[in-house]
Amino acid sequence: MRNVSISLGGAIAVALVATSVAVVPVAAPAQTVSSSSVLQVNTGRGRLVTLTRPMSDVFVADDKIADVQVRSPTQLYVFGKAAGETTVSVTNKAGAVVYSTTVRVGNNFDSIQQMLSMAMPDARIVATPMNGLVLLTGTVKAPEDGAEATRLVQAYVGDTTKVLSRLGTATPLQVNLQVRIAEVSRSFVKNIGVNLQTLNSSGGFNFGIGQGRAASPQYTPGGPLFTGGTAASTGTSLLTTVTNGTTLGAAGKIFGLDVLSSLDLGERDGEVSTLANPNITVISGETGSFLAGGEIPIPVSQGLGAVSVEYKQYGVSLSYTPTVLADGRISMRVRPEVSQLTSDGAVTISGTTIPALSTRRVETTVELGSGQSMMIGGLLSNSRNNSITKAPGLGDVPVLGALFRSNAFQRNETELVVVITPYLVKPTNANDIALPTDGLKSPTDLGRVFLGQLSNGTTGGDRPKPTLAPRSTAQPTFGAASPAPLVPTAPAPTPQRREEPISAAPAPVVPPKKGSAAAPGFSLS
């Protein structure tokens, strides 16, 4: 701590000596400020403080950061020596505090402010140096502008000084979310059944055992054979109702009876893939939802015989809440859901069957950059069903029991994959959007009949989609050795020397070159 004690006579003597020396040029008047709680000073620069009452003693907490020079009993010159923060207190002869302030010394504070004003004239940025760092506050148009301002200031002050950004966006940001929902369903069904029947056109004894698919015998004495049918004997034909599968038939005479036997073999292997691509845009901090499906009515008893109807949604739905962070990244709480009607678990109320819902839902919070994707997988569903139908007793007989029973095997596999991609988007002009129906015309009768035309004209282009432009890699340069200030600063004044006037003009700042790629958002070029 430094303590400076002065008297009125000493102050007058100092003033007379300063005015009598002709070789020292008169310095430009420093900025005069009133008493305040915080005094900001640049390194190597000073500020003149005018007091309302005469002073006697001056106390400086850390003279390595800032120092003082007394010009008169009511004027105090405070200048910065190194980046940091210290306290200056002034008292009178009675010991009462005349002036007290916290001095914050920063690196070329005025030059940083001028640089930001020239590089980003539309932004409102305030740079405040404190304790070896620079705090950026204010508003910018987009998060990338805030990141650019941080890079500019960091390159200017050097790596020894930390830059802390607390910049916000002046206009609300919009986030476009593209979700691709892919579902693959595989099914395998196998049926084995046996039909045994006797046919006798003479009206004699007939018997039959039916399993699997039903057989429809048709008696056509002397008639032709039927497609998909099996001939029994002369004058008798069998036509089976063939569905999905293969029927093996055999006919012959046993003990004078026409015996028809058919073995049904069915195997079905199917694969179904569905794809939904919901696309929705919402303001940062708000919630957006999407539904592609429908609603089913569900009766609900209200008492006293009254019944009301509630509707339950099903299909492909999406709900998400994005929040754009300061660095341009997007934090999202997303909730995709795929549901479908199913008979498993259905209930019947007053003769009305209400189907159940098979639902697959994911809810998570992630952080992504604009244009980055995240995939959610592992939503697998496997089901197996194996059933045997047989005649009591006869179906349990070894070997021959196979003629009196049938079995069915079914296996279903379903896999669901969700891909999420957010974009920071900006609105575009309506005239710049081309729809697929633009330029569509109905064909003439001549073109439709003889040329097979479905339309006469050119269709519009695809809808513009959000595109992520590559960020410019050009960085501002401030010299090869060390960052050069835009406004040269004078050396720190000493009590024996007054600050020299400086008339150097700030160096021009070359704005970054415009790249060929568009900014993040809709790009129609």
Mean pLDDT lowest among 23-32, 96-105, 173-182: 23-32
The Cα–Cα gap between 161 and 43 comes to 13
The Cα–Cα gap between 262 and 214 comes to 10
Share of the chain above pLDDT 70, in %: 61
Q: Is the pLDDT of residue 479 over 50?
A: no
Identify which of 169, 167, 177 has the alpha carbon closest to the alpha carbon of residue 321.
177
Instruction: Return the pLDDT at 355.
Output: 86
Q: What is the pLDDT of residues 209-259, one digit of tens each?
A: 554 444 444 444 444 333 334 444 444 444 444 445 555 555 555 555 555
Structural domains in the chain, sorted by start = 2-106 (2.60.40.1080), 175-183+271-425 (no CATH), 192-267 (no CATH), 433-463 (no CATH)
> In 352-486, where does DSSP find H-type helix?
445-449
Residue pair 116/81 in contact (Cβ under 8 Å)? The answer is no
Q: Is the pLDDT of residue 261 over 70?
A: no
Q: Is the pLDDT of residue 328 over 80?
A: no
Q: Is the pLDDT of residue 109 over 70?
A: no
Mean pLDDT of the chain: 69
Looking at residues 306-324, what average pLDDT do you find? 86
The Cα–Cα gap between 361 and 337 comes to 4
Mean pLDDT lowest among 159-168, 248-257, 343-352: 248-257
Instruction: Return the pLDDT at 382.
Output: 76
Tell me if residue 241 falls in helix, strand or coil.
coil
- ∠ Cα 340 343 349 (to 5°): 115
Q: Is the pLDDT of residue 50 over 80?
A: yes
Q: Is the pLDDT of residue 266 over 70?
A: no
Instruction: Return the pLDDT at 482.
Output: 38
Mean pLDDT lowest among 131-135, 228-232, 246-250, 301-305: 228-232
Q: What is the pLDDT of residues 429-474, one digit of tens each?
A: 777 777 777 777 788 888 888 888 877 765 544 445 555 545 544 4
Neighbours of 484 (CB within 10 A): 13
Which residues lie below 8 Å from residue 391, measured CB to CB, with a gap of 6+? Answer: 209, 404, 405
Residue 222: both structure tokens together? 């002397």
Burial of 322 from C-beta contacts in 10 A (0-12 / 13-18 / 19+): buried
Residue type, 223: G
Instruction: Return the pLDDT at 82.
Output: 82
Indicate the pairing of strand 133-140 with strand 124-130. Answer: antiparallel
Chain centroid, CA 22 distance in Å = 70
The Cα–Cα gap between 466 and 481 comes to 41
How is residue 443 annotated by DSSP? P
Tell me if residue 415 falls in helix, strand or coil.
strand
Residue pair 499/490 in contact (Cβ under 8 Å)? The answer is yes
What is the biggest distance separating any 2 CA atoms in the chain, rounded to whole angstroms? 151
Q: How many residues does the chain have?
A: 525
Instruction: Return the pLDDT at 242.
Output: 43
Instruction: Return the pLDDT at 274.
Output: 64
The Cα–Cα gap between 44 and 62 comes to 16
Residue 264: both structure tokens together? 């049904």
Q: What is the pLDDT of residues 402-411, one digit of tens each?
A: 767 777 777 7
Neighbours of 270 (CB within 10 A): 10
Q: Is the dihedral of CA 349, 353, 354, 357 positive or negative?
A: positive
Q: Is the pLDDT of residue 367 over 60?
A: yes
Q: Is the pLDDT of residue 21 over 60?
A: no
Q: Is the dihedral of CA 147, 152, 153, 157 positive or negative?
A: positive
The Cα–Cα gap between 211 and 391 comes to 9
The Cα–Cα gap between 18 and 71 comes to 10
CA atoms within 13 A on the CB side of 337: 20
Q: How confident is the model at residue 341 (pLDDT cuts 50, 70, 90)?
A: confident
Residue pair 165/128 in contact (Cβ under 8 Å)? The answer is no
52 Ramachandran zone, left/alpha/beta (phi>0; psi -120 to 50):
alpha
Q: Is the pLDDT of residue 507 over 50?
A: no
The Cα–Cα gap between 310 and 44 comes to 75
Q: How confident is the model at residue 512 (pLDDT cuts 50, 70, 90)?
A: very low
Q: What is the pLDDT of residues 57-101, one digit of tens each?
A: 888 898 888 899 888 888 888 888 887 788 888 888 888 888 888
Higher per-residue confidence, 299 vs 240: 299
Q: How confident is the model at residue 199 (pLDDT cuts 50, 70, 90)?
A: low
How is residue 7 annotated by DSSP? -
Q: Among the ranges 152-156, 368-372, 398-402, which has the highest mean pLDDT value? A: 368-372
Q: Which long-range contacts (CB under 8 A, 24 or more apart) does 3-6 make?
A: 3/57, 3/58, 3/59, 3/60, 4/57, 4/58, 4/59, 4/60, 4/68, 4/70, 5/56, 5/57, 5/58, 6/55, 6/56, 6/57, 6/58, 6/70, 6/73
Q: Among the ranges 93-97, 181-185, 261-265, 476-480, which has the highest mean pLDDT value? A: 93-97
Q: How confident is the model at residue 267 (pLDDT cuts 50, 70, 90)?
A: low
Instruction: Return the pLDDT at 460.
Output: 46
Instruction: Return the pLDDT at 263.
Output: 58
The Cα–Cα gap between 195 and 394 comes to 14
Paired residues of 286 in beta bridges: none
Q: Is the pLDDT of residue 190 over 50?
A: yes
Paired residues of 384 in beta bridges: 411
Looking at residues 135-163, what average pLDDT do you find? 80
Identify which of 487, 491, 492, 490 has the alpha carbon closest to the alpha carbon of residue 504.
487
Q: Among the ranges 15-29, 194-208, 385-399, 415-429, which has the highest mean pLDDT value? A: 415-429
Instruction: Return the pLDDT at 294.
Output: 87
pTM above 0.75, yes or no: no
How is residue 372 annotated by DSSP? -
